[in-house]
Structure 1
């Protein structure tokens, strides 16, 4: 019987406060804790943070799939995630591979939505990042309560706004795989699947989301009803970022983006929220999600017809 598997990696030196929120959120989506596979990473063995992370997992009956003691690099982390996926998932299963600061919002109950994808023979579901900020953009500490949505209420577009000074290709980082079939492995970064020779059917048609018409515009991304709520922008960000940039093996793109982010944070160490596009409810949000998906596919194929239909809806 097909199941939903969750695979993640938590850097225990920086991500401890996120762990209880992450586990509770994906349990609420309907993923059983027996299908949650955590890689716990630390620079040193037997650290206080590692013991605390394991204790948090054990409260929900979860044993870490791997204890990874080494400096963090993105390349190694994604290799480990793929290895776990190959071990625990078959081709009929659905896999959600999410960082602990990534909370995937699906447009319906997860089981209902994935059944829809199965019927449509879709094997890769991509969504867009929605950066979650405090009301003033400050990098606040994550608290046990209230829910993260209340601690970080602003839905913004930080990643793209900062990266637009880079040359072509920055839009790849604006999308992420939210769910894929067990035989479809994510590439480094998790933005799109590795080309493994099998046909890939994306939720919006034949092209991956980074090639979607208008994807570079925040107004387009804000309309897509598949969202990765990104709680990266908290008190642990600066120390984590500085450490990763100083670690051998950081990618060229990671180095570039990290330096741009440090420049943006500046002396105030805050996201300049006044410079960010902010997401608010739009026309498509009022429609049933299946209608939203159909219209967005139409936009990808025929922008003029899409605009004509949208004008009538308004």
Structure 2
């Protein structure tokens, strides 16, 4: 068997802060990633100045976008762009991550891939760990603060509160087809005892406006959706934030928030992640007013 080479990173990037893109790129380069295949997509409400600034930031980081597009963010938009990027990336292993997802592994990527190949696995899984501020505020992030200091707590907001699928396919061989949202690879099941920790830095300043806009666009039909699951997740978050005066309730023991850092897996992660991945089931839809979406890109 040939020695695994560094996988190609595949990602669809929305209108994030240039500083987050910089931190994200540095994180994955620290894991050994050398090839970035990125597509940038901007909904129509995003100002031209923001779009130009983010693309310029990507070029300054030495990452030339494979594609830049604008328009509605239909539920299928991310999937189509991701699959185009995977085709461009070519044969081999692909690391797949959203721009607010920072993956931490139990071993170096080369070792993780070698172990998967030795057991004839073509996918490697991960589990979301939502990162938030100490008091649950949706804070504006300043790069000089650092992500670990700005969002020191990690917990299971997506899984416990939003009823969303916390499972992720983080590495997949090019021969494997991926489902929407990178949650599954039909016909392939990741090894449950070596799941990566996917630190999820979604809960920042501006996310509420984004979720409200997406709920409105999907509800009106301006953006097309396949299921109401995405809107349902967003609606649950918005309701929770309203009930807790603009904050995430980090004291709720169900959510399991505790201090974590990017440089190593949380204590007891292997057993915790395996248990959650095994127990997760799709949430039955509720026919309630205003209920229905999470970001199609997250």
The TM-score, its normalising length taken from structure 1, stands at 0.75
Separation of aligned partners in 2, 1:27 and 1:187: 26
Aligned position for 2:233: 257
Query: Deviation of residue 74 (structure 1)?
Result: 2.9
Larger radius of gyration: 1
Separation of aligned partners in 1, 2:88 and 2:6: 14
Separation of aligned partners in 2, 1:16 and 1:245: 25
What RMSD, in angstroms, separates the aligned Cα atoms of the two structures? 2.8
Q: How does 1:67-146 map to 2 (within 5 A)?
A: 67-90=68-91, 93-146=92-145
Query: Deviation of residue 157 (structure 1)?
Result: 1.0
**Runs of 4 or more above 6 Å deviation:** 284-287
Separation of aligned partners in 2, 1:182 and 1:230: 24
Residue 180 of structure 1: SS of its match in structure 2? strand
- Count of aligned positions: 259
Deviations 1:196-237 (A, max 9, x none): xxxx352239xxxxxxxxxxxxxxxxxx75211000011021
Question: Are residues 256 and 286 of structure 1, via their aligned partners in 2, closer, same or farther at CA, if it must alter by over 3 Å?
Answer: closer
On the 8 A contact 1:16/1:49 being kept in 2, the answer is: no
Q: Which is worse superposed, 130-139 or 39-48?
A: 39-48
Separation of aligned partners in 2, 1:132 and 1:162: 14
Structure 1 alignment gaps of length 5 or more: 165-169, 206-223, 301-314
Query: Deviation of residue 41 (structure 1)?
Result: 1.4
Separation of aligned partners in 1, 2:200 and 2:110: 22
Aligned position for 1:9: 12
Separation of aligned partners in 1, 2:250 and 2:127: 19
User: Of 248, 273, 283, which aligns to 1:271?
Assistant: 248
User: Of 194, 205, 220, which aligns to 1:235?
Assistant: 205
Separation of aligned partners in 2, 1:137 and 1:285: 20
Structure 2 alignment gaps of length 5 or more: 218-222, 279-298
